[in-house]
Structure 1
């Protein structure tokens, strides 16, 4: 039985149509070794995605904001469709990505796609179609529910998607995957990608521990206020267990917490109050937290200056940091994912097309692009075709002169 997502229209149980492909016998020389290592068993992710998401996204403001900045900027980047001959103003692929499915807009779809990559290192896209040709809808599948099934040659032969005890298998037929698996580079995993959260796991622990420490200070009048010292009376050298327990309970009930801040303490005979201040190590604790926050931001490719984190001197101003954010993080991410999507979807339409970001419409890169256009336009030794190629444009249409 075919597993249907809640919002999906009822579809046929037949597999998706795919273009005819020539059988090939080529294979990697290392494929057998990979297959032997996996032995045909399920290849499980090395990290618990759910735990990392709770720690680094749901429970950490720096991780949350860094992820939001990347996925919002990447999803908003304009995309164009072109082939070797022209750039299209109207195309089935443009219509598909402008409304991937009935439940998601273009922005929602791509935010979720890039979010999966940021949080788990993997993203899975399913194409749904009732007829041959371009897919009618695109759906995202949650990475924490997906399991890759390696085949005898080491490559994935199926993808198992499990929800509420029900499992649906997406088979890879005729050398083509039923779903598109987009992933980050992982040097030690053949099947799953590396999430930025994994690289920032230690910094997340440090930052979260520092936040809990600060919360503990607030719960205790926001400072290590002091100590009650028992001087002893009537020959009694120390407090009995009952006396110590009663004193601790009274201090906790009457003098700890924000509502009791500054409340005067009445001491019984034999008790003396010794005030305490911050030690040098306590004073360095906040700096440790700030350093951990910068490391979290850097793991996601976000300049700390854009998050308002102190101590970042890598860029002279906000505009320069924002330009570096787009050039070094957003554009490479969108370019890679757009290339993977276009290569995969091209097979359904039997047409080689290219999906790429339109950098001329990115305001953060406007000055940089303007300088590039001026340099290329002033190069008299280049033909029009060469200039267009340098600017990422297709060649001139047939019949137009190439000067």
Structure 2
């Protein structure tokens, strides 16, 4: 039976099997109903999917770039490389595990659903994997199953997701939302009080007056009541409306759990925010969160590459500055030899130029300075070592 086909019968796995016992307290959709959770996962997957892959191997004692294997550039026969990356990261962040089947030739890598994989850990030193009931071995052991984990606890090979690790926090946030709905839908407190200034009034009269008042107010008409009545509106104190702040805090908390900027998921980043603060948040997000995803993927896919090859997920395209700063960076790399002219033009998506065009360009360059060149040469070195 092929590992890339699913049999008619599969083993039933409950939500608690996948997410752990804490999931039962939340209910099937309790935690995942949080909009902030979806926003965090989407933000991470879309950002990391933009990474470029570089594969190197040792040649003559130095690391040299080699062609990217098809299992990394076109891993699936049916999905794009973008979709394949999104699948992996989404599985990691929601399930804690990403499982993929790899063919014997190490050409394709197809991600599969978590519920189709079972692990027998009765012997913790030799766990046994099954895919849809079929025994399989890990790629690292010469088999066909690739297993990437989000977080790992001692004593088990199955990873856990941020949701499972912080289930109590999600439960608290969900209860806050439920309280907020009950507050407005069921009206935990009366919005106002009608009080008779005269002697004690019977219950039927009070009910009739109340209904007349509500009916007139709902229709937007002036309220006319017999006798002397005092109307007093009840306002909700900040303490009683704490659930509003609680909902906001839960979104911020979810952002912390997933390692994303709070404002990206509807949370609150704090006051006195400046552009430099937000830029630093994005830098830390790329280092801490996306760097963690890259590290997991690099460690896992090293088992499917030929011996001696290493891969790196480059996220520098997410850090590209403004156009002028970017061109200054290209100019500096041309000066110090980091880039050749041909490489710089390819970086800009432009064709190479022939010898005649190079000669014309050099003649133009000798008499014309670009914006970046003008700034970089504005300080002229003096013979004595000073500047002018």
* Root-mean-square deviation (Å): 4.5
Residue in structure 1 matched with residue 14 of structure 2 by the alignment: none
**Aligned residues of 2:40 and 2:264 also touching (Cα < 8 A):** no
Judge conservation of contact 2:56–2:311 (CA < 8 Å) in 1: yes
SS at structure 1 position matched to 2:55: strand
1:125 maps to which residue?
A: 100
Residue 289 of structure 1: how far off its partner (Å): 2.1
Q: Given the superposition, is the C-alpha separation of residues 262 and 100 from structure 1 closer, same or farther in structure 2, using an over 3 Å criterion?
A: farther
Contact 2:48 / 2:315 at 8 angstroms: preserved in 1?
no
Deviation, 1:200, is 3.5
SS of the counterpart of 1:79? strand
Q: Which residue of 2 aligns with 1:281?
A: 239
Distance 1:255 1:196 in 2: 52
Shift of 1:362: 4.1
Aligned mates of 1:168, 1:264 — CA distance in 2: 75
Q: Which residue of 1 aligns with 2:380?
A: none
Partner SS, residue 82 of structure 1: strand
Which residue of 160, 185, 193 corresponds with 2:159? 193
- Measured after TM superposition, the shift of residue 281 of structure 1 is 1.3
Matched, 1:354 2:310: yes
Cα deviations by residue, 1:170-229 (Å, 9 ceiling, x for unpaired): 346994443111112333551221211123433333333444444455547999522467
- Separation in 2, partners of 1:210, 1:334: 35
2 CA distance for matches of 1:274 and 1:289? 29
Partner of 1:345: 304
Q: 1 CA distance for matches of 2:171 and 2:222?
A: 37
**Kindly tell me: are residues 176 and 222 of structure 1, through their superposed partners in 2, closer, same or farther at Cα, counting changes over 3 Å?**
same
1:279 CA displacement: 2.2
User: Does residue 71 of the first structure (1) align with residue 45 of the second (2)?
Assistant: yes
Distance in 1 (CA, whole Å) between partners of 2:290 and 2:316 is 14
Match of 1:208 among 170, 174, 180: 174
5+ residue gaps, structure 1, are 9-42, 162-166, 379-403
Name the counterpart of 2:351.
none
Tell me, in whole angstroms, the C-alpha distance in 1 between the residues paired with 2:173 and 2:310.
42
Spell out, residue by residue over 1:12-50, the C-alpha distance to the aligned partner (whole angstroms, 9 max, x if none).
xxxxxxxxxxxxxxxxxxxxxxxxxxxxxxx87524779
1:108 is aligned, of 54, 78, 83, to 83
Cα distance per residue 1:104-162 (max 9 Å; x no partner): 11111111101111111111111124xxxx3232111112332212364532222243x
The TM-score, its normalising length taken from structure 1, stands at: 0.62
8 A contact 1:305–1:312 mirrored in 2: no
Structure 2 CA distance, aligned partners of 1:282 and 1:261? 29
Structure with higher Rg: it is 2
Is the 1:339–1:354 contact (alpha carbons within 8 Å) kept by the matching residues of 2? no
Q: State the 1:323 CA deviation.
A: 0.8
Q: Kindly tell me: are residues 322 and 227 of structure 1, through their superposed partners in 2, closer, same or farther at Cα, counting changes over 3 Å?
A: same
Distance, in Å, in 1 between the alignment partners of 2:254 and 2:168 is 9
Aligned match of 1:325: 285
Cα contact 1:200–1:299 (8 A) shared by 2:
yes
1:183 aligns to 2:154 (yes or no): no
The aligned residue for residue 67 of structure 2 is 90
Contact 2:19 2:160 in 1 (8 A): no
The CA distance in 1 between the partners of 2:90 and 2:37, in whole Å, is 12
Query: How far did 1:332 drift?
Result: 2.6
Give the conservation status (yes or no) of the 8 Å contact 2:3–2:101. Answer: no
Question: Which residue matches 2:260?
Answer: 302
Unaligned runs of 5+ in 2: 8-16, 337-388
SS of the equivalent of 1:280 reads coil
- C-alpha deviation, 1:263, in angstroms: 6.8
Return the offset for 1:354: 1.1
Number of the residue aligned with 1:384: none
Secondary structure, counterpart of 1:182 in structure 2: strand
- CA distance, structure 1, for counterparts of residue 139 and residue 66 of structure 2: 33
User: Mean alpha-carbon deviation: is it higher for 142-151 or for 70-79?
Assistant: 142-151
Cα distance in 2 between the residues matched to 1:255 and 1:89: 79
Q: Which structure has more RCO (C-alpha within 8 Å, separation ≥ 6)?
A: 1
What residue in structure 2 maps to residue 396 of structure 1? none
